[in-house]
Amino acid sequence: QKEVEQNSGPLSVPEGAIASLNCTYSDRVSQSFFWYRQYSGKSPELIMSIYSNGDKEDGRFTAQLNKASQYVSLLIRDSQPSDSATYLCAVTLSPPGNDMRFGAGTRLTVKP
């Protein structure tokens, strides 16, 4: 089992719709979870972090974490064509390493 799994997509949504991106992880004691956005040919950039169960909202983005189910998701409301990118889920492994593993990413296309 991969440490972090994402649906590779592509996921296509119309402009203005809600895009839902999902991620599952295998390390039961992982503490920190991140969503990165990567435009084609560019490096990943951090868009959201979440550490506690529940929802965390930042503008049009909402991260949802359920540690019991080992599941983290990202919702993008009012999707825009500029949101078209690959979204990477990242999970920090349990100690002692505290290092991070990334999912393969979900490619999102928002159609005007």
Partner 1 sequence: GAGVSQSPSNKVTEKGKDVELRCDPISGHTALYWYRQSLGQGLEFLIYFQGNSAPDKSGLPSDRFSAERTGGSVSTLTIQRTQQEDSAVYLCASSSGQGANQPQHFGDGTRLSIL
The answer to whether 63 and 56 have CB atoms below 8 angstroms apart is yes
One residue of 54, 68, 69, 99 binding partner 1 per CB under 8 A: 99
Contact 102, 3 (CB under 8 A): no
When asked if residue 12 is in the footprint of partner 1 (CB under 8 A), the reply is no
Complete DSSP assignment for 25-65: ES-TT---EEEEEE-TTS--EEEEEE-SSEEEEETTEEEEE
Are 63 and 73 in contact by the 8 Å Cβ rule? The answer is yes
Q: Count of residues binding partner 1 (CB under 8 A)?
A: 25
Compare residues 30 and 79 and give the one whose CB is closer to partner 1.
30
Residue from 90, 98, 77 nearest 23 by CA: 90
Of 9-17, 55-63, 70-78, 103-111, the window that binds partner 1 (rule: CB under 8 A) is: 103-111
Take residue 27 and report the two structure tokens written for it. Answer: 């390390």
Which window, 14-22, 65-73, 76-84, 99-107, contacts partner 1 (CB under 8 A)? Answer: 99-107
61 lines the binding site for partner 1 (CB under 8 A):
no
Which of 15, 45, 55, 58 is the binder for partner 1 (CB under 8 A)? 45
For partner 1, the binding residues (CB under 8 A) are: 30-32, 34, 42-46, 49, 51, 88, 90, 92, 94-95, 97-105
